[in-house]
Amino acid sequence: MNSKFISSFCQDIECVKCENIPLSTLKSRKKLECFYLQCKSENILLFSLHVKSRILSKEIDALEDLSARFLDILQKPFDKKYLIYTSPICSKAKKHAHKLGWNLLHVSL
């Protein structure tokens, strides 16, 4: 993913610490990046997804599973979940993500 965007996002939300989490620690082979951001008032789990095809509801369910695994394995609490994506997203997947408490950010490359 675009590291410039991630760093500017961290600056915008006044992030104190940005930690890149290798997906091997979450026992996942998905092609995405995971970041744990510690801010002054909250902790944020950030996934960065860059795929060529459209994002479907099953990918949102997989991300929700990964976020639960993150909490179980690393024992780091988070207040918000963000998904930064570059490809189109299905409207049902978007509604499903919002229902599960995800904040979605679309980035054009």
Residue ranges of alpha helices (H) inside 2-89 are 3-12, 57-74
pTM of the entire predicted model: 0.85
φ/ψ of 5, rounded to 5, equals -65, -40
**pLDDT given at position 2:** 57
**pLDDT given at position 13:** 75
- Stretches where the chain sits below pLDDT 70 are 1-4, 29, 109
**pLDDT given at position 54:** 92
Written as one string, the DSSP assignment of 65-102 is HHHHHHHHHH----SEEEEEE-S-B-HHHHHHHHHTTE
Domain boundaries, the chain: 3-106
**pLDDT given at position 93:** 95
φ/ψ of 89, rounded to 5, equals -125, 140
Among the listed residues 68, 8, 23, 52, the one whose alpha carbon sits nearest the alpha carbon of residue 60? 68
- CATH, range 3-106: 3.40.1350.10
Please name every residue paired with 61 in a beta bridge, in sequence order, or none if there are none: none
